[in-house]
Amino acid sequence: MLTVSKLSASYGAIQAVRGVDLEVKARSLCVLLGSNGAGKSTTLRSIAGLHRPVSGSVNLAGQEISRLSLHRVVRSGLAFVPEGRMVVAPLTVEENLALSGFAGRNADPRLVDKIYALFPRLAERRKQKAGLMSGGEQQMLAIGRALMTKPQMLVLDEPSMGLAPAIVDLVFQAIVALHKEGQSILLVEQNAAIALSVCDYGYVMRRGQIVVQGTPEELRQNPEVLEAYLS
Ligand SMILES: Nc1ncnc2c1ncn2[C@@H]1O[C@H](COP(=O)(O)OP(=O)(O)OP(=O)(O)O)[C@@H](O)[C@H]1O
Ligand SMILES: [Mg+2]
């Protein structure tokens, strides 16, 4: 379980995240919604050790991780796929996956087969240099790299961003399949309709704060969510 309490984060004088509380239960898929600039990425970056919070705590399965260095956060079991993907452009698909395997807690080469089963496109392109692949393929590889670390908690920032609808479907089918297997997931997504169709629980952020939370059914009926995200 991931528990975030009273998390605040700033960029100089800009208070991007102000006292955020959220919880992702083990084996659940939790979504964080919000419009541009609401503070979603800053929340995720603070959780993942890429941005040092001003205050608050981030607890993963009983361990405080908010002030750990990035590689220690990964070793504690949290894998983050940032906005804009992170693949090593000059390396091939299989080299990218192997490299991430070393960063994890329990490097396991068999994970590669699991990732190729999840994303057959990656299997077809295993010898291809990552930098020459489409945005969708790079997103799949970025998720694959995160999975190579065998995360307890997978954290994804807008995996659908900039992708064609057919590719968004493939990426979401994979997210749903991972969730069914019991992978715990925290997902930031702009497309509320898709997000609410797959999640167990959701939070809505506005100006650095959580303003609404609930089950997908509750959120779909919430007037603010309806107006801002589903109309
Ligand atoms: N590197 C930065 N330096 C300064 N201000 C930043 C930086 N990154 C984000 N901000 C500001 O912090 C606030 C929250 O930004 P953040 O990127 O967390 O929002 P977001 O919800 O992820 O938005 P989006 O939907 O556009 O990805 C915004 O006001 C943004 O301008
Ligand atoms: Mg963002």
Domain ranges of the chain: 2-229
* Distance of CA 50 from the midpoint of ligand 1 (Å): 14
Which of 218, 142, 203 has its CA nearest to residue 20? 203
What residues pair up with 152 in beta bridges, in sequence order?
none
Structural tokens at position 82? 């940032």
Q: What is the pLDDT of residue 231?
A: 66
Residue nearest to atom 28 of ligand 1 (CA): 37
Find out whether 204 and 213 touch, Cβ atoms under 8 Å: yes
Nearest ligand (C-alpha, residue 37): 1
Residue nearest to atom 18 of ligand 1 (CA): 39
pLDDT tens digits for 79-120?
999 998 789 999 999 999 999 887 666 667 789 999 999 999
* Distance of CA 121 from the midpoint of ligand 2 (Å): 26
Find out whether 192 and 161 touch, Cβ atoms under 8 Å: no
Rg of the chain over CA atoms, in angstroms?
17
pLDDT tens digits for 27-63?
999 999 998 999 999 999 999 999 999 999 999 999 9
Which of 156, 191, 197, 178 has its CA nearest to residue 43? 156
The helix (H) or strand (E) run that includes residue 155 is strand 153-157
* Distance of CA 39 from the midpoint of ligand 2 (Å): 7
Structural tokens at position 88? 């090593």
Question: Looking at domain 2-229, what is its CATH homologous superfamily?
Answer: P-loop containing nucleotide triphosphate hydrolases (3.40.50.300)
Nearest ligand (C-alpha, residue 190): 1
Sign of the CA dihedral with 84 first, then 88, 90, and 94 last: negative
Q: What is the pLDDT of residue 106?
A: 61
Residues with CB under 6 A from ligand 1: 11, 14, 16, 34, 36-42
Which of 190, 129, 202 has its CA nearest to residue 162? 190
* Distance of CA 129 from the midpoint of ligand 1 (Å): 31
